[in-house]
Amino acid sequence: MTSQKRRSRPRSGSRRENGERYRILLEHLPVGVYRTTPDGRIIEGNRALCEILGATRPSELLNINVQDLYLRAKDRNDHLRHLEKKPIVIREFEIKKLDGSKTWVRDHPRAVRDSRGRIIHYDGIILDISARKRAEKQLDKVLSDLERANKKYLNQSLTDDLTLLYNRRGFFTFAQQLLRIAKRVRNSICLVFLDIDNLKVVNDTWGHKQGDLALFEFGRILRETFRESDVVGRVGGDEFAALILLPSRDQGRILLERLQDKLEAFNRQRRKKFSLEASMGVVWCGPDQRRSLENLLMTADRRMYWSKHHKSQRQLFASALRS
């Protein structure tokens, strides 16, 4: 018994030492640590919490009810409602400090329950994120200004006035960006090169005004066929290109079949003096294949010219993705 008692004494001292180390650690943590009652009274808090709330010392926290700190009562109600369902909830919201000023915080509360499952208090960690929120606001403004400048720049220098697609410069700018994205996410890409058939005949027969109209209508059909995420541009007088990010050839085939259907529907209407037909070359590049945009365009252009001289219009579309 004597030896057991002697061995038990260091344990008690060890517990006291651990408790003291915990208290010192708590006081020097750079984040606010708290314990509150279900009705909102703060019953424990460290110095970092004082700094966040604007209190001069921890004892001053005991006079605070957290309900008075919320700018919107809805934030606290949402908080408590989620804590009824989950043991830990992380929330970001704006609070009112003791001096009336506002600050943004991120709260990590945990509901502590008794043996019957009733909440007896909330333990949590709270961080001042007002600096991050200010930086985000500044970044949003910078991005908004940049977006406006980009739109103005695009309208001025990267867009083809006649077809409302990217011009050659715009196509190369955004196609290079899409290639980098495809490499980063390891996705396949498809480059489609199109040449309007017999545009010179339209110009010579009906005049350049009808030729411009043919270019506009072809551009409209391309805009309606391809997706906003695709990069589509007029890269030459009667030449167009589309760079597409696709998970499978089936989706590429669907897009090209849609293009064929729209061209045929346009020609059936016979509302214009001309019909629209196009020759096409397609290059498919898998996620493990790396080719430059120039190489893709050169290959697709070569396939387009071969198809123009060896295939009928319907055969062009049917065979394009098999190349």
Q: Is 235 exposed, middle or buried (0-12, 13-18, 19+ CB in 10 A)?
A: buried
Contact (Cβ atoms closer than 8 angstroms) between residue 320 and residue 256: yes
Residue 286 has pLDDT above 90, yes or no: no
The CATH H-level (homologous superfamily) assignment of domain 31-134 is PAS domain (3.30.450.20)
Bigger pLDDT: 122 or 250? 122
pLDDT at 194: 95
pLDDT band of 317, cuts 50, 70, 90? very low
In this prediction, residues 281-301 reach a mean pLDDT of 89
pLDDT value at position 2?
Answer: 44
140-179 pLDDT tens trace = 887 777 677 667 666 668 889 899 999 999 999 999 988 9
Q: pLDDT exceeding 90 applies to what percent of the chain?
A: 37
pLDDT, tens digit, for every residue of 185-230?
A: 888 899 999 999 988 888 888 888 998 999 999 999 999 999 888 9
The pLDDT value recorded for residue 1 is 43
Q: Tell me what the pLDDT averaged over the chain comes to.
A: 84
What does the pLDDT read at residue 129? 92
Residue 104 and residue 52: Cα distance in Å, rounded? 10
The token pair that represents 54 in the structure block: 């604007």
- Asked if residue 242 has pLDDT above 90, the reply is yes
pTM over 0.85: no
Residue 245 has pLDDT above 90, yes or no: no
**Residue 182, SS3?**
helix
Burial (Cβ within 10 Å: 0-12, 13-18, ≥19) of residue 25 = exposed
**Stretch among 1-10, 187-196, 236-245 having the lowest mean pLDDT:** 1-10
pLDDT of residue 150: 62
pLDDT digits (tens, 9 = 90+) for 261-280: 999 999 888 777 788 989 99
Please report, as a single letter, which amino acid is at residue 273. Answer: K
CA-nearest of 77, 233, 56, 239 to 161 is 233
- The CATH-assigned architecture of domain 159-322 is 2-Layer Sandwich (3.30)
Strand bridging mode 32-36 / 188-196: unpaired
Q: How far is CA 13 from CA 3, 4, 8, 49, in A?
A: 16, 15, 9, 30
* Extents of the domains making up the chain: 31-134, 159-322
Query: What pLDDT is attached to residue 5?
Result: 47
* Non-local CB neighbours of 231 within 8 Å, separated by 6+ positions: 166, 171, 174, 175, 178, 242, 243
Taking only the tens place, the pLDDT of each residue in 118-136 is 889 999 999 999 988 888 8
- The number of residues in the chain equals 323
Residues in CB range of 202: below 8 A, 6 or more apart: 210, 211, 214, 273, 274
Contact 196, 238 (CB under 8 A): yes
